[in-house]
Amino acid sequence: MRIDKLQIALRPRPAPQALDLGFALLRAHAGPVYKTWLALWLPLCALSQLLIWAAPGYAALWMFLPWWLRPLLERGPLYVLSRQVFGEDVTWRQALRAWPRQLGGGWFRLLTWWRFFMPGRGLYQPVWQLEQARGATASERRNVIGRNGTGAAAYRFGLACAHFDAVLNFGLVALVGLFFSEGPAINPLAVFVSGGNGTWLDLVVMAAYTVSGGIVGPVYTACCFTLYLNRRATLEAWDIEITLRQIQAPAARHQPQQAAPAPAATPVSAQAGRASPQLLALLAALASVLLAAGLLCAPAGAEPLQAAAPPPAAAPGDLQCERPRHLEEQIGKHAPVRSAEQAALRAELRRLYNSDDLRGYKCEDSWHFKDFDEAEQKPERPPKLPDLSVLALVIKVLLIAGGVALVAWLLYRYRGKFAWLLPAPAMHAATEIAGLDIRAESLPGDVAGAVRRLWDQGDRRGALALLYRATLSRLVQQDGLLLAQGATEGDCLRLAQQAALPAARYQVAATATTLWLNGAYGARWPDSAALYAACGAWRAQFEAQPGAQAGGLPGGPSAAHLERP
């Protein structure tokens, strides 16, 4: 993109001026822009008219079709404007051939939620079409382009164009309605209430929308495009870059050629050297004249030293001013004068320090009105108080933040008091207790038989672990016992007791828990008879057929001789 070839005077402008620039751009290139737009717009509207005539029952849907696809058609005029603004001539035929390649990027957004809620979509069309941005890059570019009121201006202009379109559409329909009026009355809405109803009314409305859309469409595209260019110029300082590119180095023919020094030329230093005696003689003569004039003007008998002494006291009309208080005496205080030479030297120093160059102040005349009663008439002003607005704002913010923090702390501190306001947290069934997997799919088909085999093979810990986790799994699956994650063996047994299980079923759970705790944590393993009895009782309770009577522990040991931890 060569911005030095821009055909418009581009510089950062307010949004209304950028919109006016869009009208000027459209007037300059109205021919190819409108030809491209109508070449895309009229066939689509003609197809809609044909569908309305063929299937009048879906007339509303067919009239909706051109409005829905309008954002894709706007890329044709934008293609022409984007080339013409840089001095590239594009015909409407070239634009039509290039139009299918311009549809990529943003089309889904433009045809879905943006179609209903984004009147300023024309501002962001160049991001997809001209910059070829996609995804997160396009989103970031849209955010940058729409800042500083540009997005709001495009939104408001889109609403204005929609109103212009509606007013023009209604006006054309009303113009047709004038010809349906009967009698002396003129009714612009006669087309809606007279014989022009049904399919003919739909065709008239669609024709009016074709004309209004054909007029307003390029206006909307051109103005949104200049808004985009104005935002780019503001962000990237195009006006400065254009000016810098226009600055070129001077041509070689404009550069002065260095001439060879003439042999007869005399150096300036040599001329000055020859003129120096004459100049010195002239200065000496002037100094002698001035010295003679000073001696003639001096009073008789005056000594030469007194000629350089300070002037006498000023006359009443002379300019006098006092030393400002903030300036201290430059000479300072010294010891008393001891000789006439010392007094003369101090007087000379004082005179030098009182000169305009060294004293630090200047006396000037000024005119003002006399006010003799100024002291009495001037009211006493109250002392000016310091500006505490910033401090007040800081205190206000701190108080608000402190109040919010206090309320948040109180809600957190007494959160238990408001538990009834919150829904009860959903309990998640435990899948692991004490490091043991209690899921049903992790158990063998014949639990009691597997426990006996592990015990006979000498794996006493594995046998007790299988018996215990199978018991918990059956309680969860068959009895609906809710075990929380992280529950201990004692918690599980306490929940089983609170669940009001049958006595025999609870006794089997207590036996399995006791056997597991004594063996796993105390290394007190039961004998084989006690384990076989526990397996038989477990099989009777958890593997019996439905409807079987759950009794005690047949043949099993009582809980009296099982030690609990």
At 551, which amino acid appears? Answer: G
Most confident option among 60-69, 266-275, 445-454: 60-69
Most confident option among 25-29, 243-247, 273-277: 25-29
At residue 38, the pLDDT reads 94
For residue 44, is pLDDT > 90? yes
At residue 267, the pLDDT reads 37
List the beta bridge partners of residue 432: 437
Mean pLDDT of the 253-266 span = 42
Mean pLDDT of the 99-111 span = 88
DSSP string, 272-324: HHHHHHHHHHHHHHHHHHHHHHHHHHSPTT--HHHHTSPP-PPPTTS---PPP
- Estimate the crossing angle of helix 489-498 against helix 460-479, to 10 degrees: 30
Choose between 125 and 183: higher pLDDT.
Answer: 125
Most confident option among 9-18, 189-198, 261-270: 9-18
From residue 436, how far is each of 70, 414, 543 by CA, in Å?
65, 37, 21
List the beta bridge partners of residue 433: 436
The CA distance from 207 to 222, in Å, is 24
Mean pLDDT of the 372-396 span = 74
From residue 101, how far is each of 41, 73, 225, 456 by CA, in Å?
18, 12, 19, 79
At residue 425, the pLDDT reads 57
At residue 298, the pLDDT reads 44
The CA distance from 94 to 98, in Å, is 6
The CA distance from 545 to 298, in Å, is 150
What 407-414 contacts at long range (C-beta under 8 Å, 24+ apart), as own/partner pairs, is: none
The CA distance from 22 to 57, in Å, is 41
At residue 249, the pLDDT reads 46
At residue 472, the pLDDT reads 81
Choose between 562 and 540: higher pLDDT.
Answer: 540
For residue 325, is pLDDT > 80? no
At residue 373, the pLDDT reads 61
For residue 450, is pLDDT > 50? yes
The CA distance from 543 to 551, in Å, is 13
For residue 389, is pLDDT > 70? yes
Residue 120: Cβ-neighbour burial (10 angstroms; 0-12, 13-18, 19+): buried
Choose between 484 and 471: higher pLDDT.
Answer: 471
At residue 440, the pLDDT reads 76
- Measured in whole angstroms, the distance separating CA 42 from the mean position of its chain's CA atoms is 41
From residue 374, how far is each of 366, 371, 381, 383, 505 by CA, in Å?
18, 5, 14, 19, 111
pLDDT digits (tens, 9 = 90+) for 130-186: 888 898 898 898 899 988 888 889 889 999 999 999 999 888 888 877 776 565 555
Mean pLDDT of the 75-92 span = 90
- Strand residue runs (E) in 202-262: none
pLDDT digits (tens, 9 = 90+) for 399-441: 999 999 999 998 888 877 766 666 665 556 667 777 777 777 7
Confidence of residue 546 (pLDDT cuts 50, 70, 90): very low
Structure tokens belonging to residue 369 = 């009105």
Confidence of residue 80 (pLDDT cuts 50, 70, 90): very high
At residue 370, the pLDDT reads 66
Which residues are CB-contacts of 343 (< 8 A; sequence separation ≥ 6)? 337
Least confident window among 59-63, 252-256, 420-424: 252-256
For residue 548, is pLDDT > 80? no
CA Rg, the chain, in Å?
Answer: 52
Mean pLDDT of the 311-322 span = 52
pLDDT digits (tens, 9 = 90+) for 283-305: 555 555 444 444 444 444 443 43
The CA distance from 434 to 43, in Å, is 75
For residue 459, is pLDDT > 50? yes
Mean pLDDT of the 109-129 span = 89
Choose between 235 and 395: higher pLDDT.
Answer: 395
At residue 221, the pLDDT reads 94
At residue 421, the pLDDT reads 67
At residue 504, the pLDDT reads 81
Least confident window among 15-19, 402-406, 534-538: 534-538
For residue 497, is pLDDT > 90? no
Structure tokens belonging to residue 460 = 């006493």
At residue 45, the pLDDT reads 94
From residue 251, how far is each of 242, 244, 254, 255, 475 by CA, in Å?
20, 17, 5, 7, 100
pLDDT digits (tens, 9 = 90+) for 179-228: 765 655 556 666 665 544 567 788 888 999 999 999 999 999 999 999 99
At 379, which amino acid appears? Answer: P
Most confident option among 364-373, 414-423, 473-482, 505-514: 505-514
For the chain, the average pLDDT equals 75
Among 114, 118, 98, smallest CA distance to 106 is for: 114
Helix (H, G, I), strand (E, B) or coil at 436: strand
List the beta bridge partners of residue 436: 433
At residue 51, the pLDDT reads 92
At residue 404, the pLDDT reads 93
At residue 188, the pLDDT reads 64
Structure tokens belonging to residue 550 = 């759950």
Spans of all domains in the chain:
3-244, 432-561
At residue 307, the pLDDT reads 37
Share of the chain above pLDDT 70, in %: 70
**Buried/exposed 30-64: b ≥16 CB within 10 Å, e otherwise:** eebbbbbbbbbbeebbeebbebbeeeeeebeebbe
- With vertex at residue 200, the alpha carbon angle to CA 199 and CA 202, rounded to the nearest 5 degrees, is 65
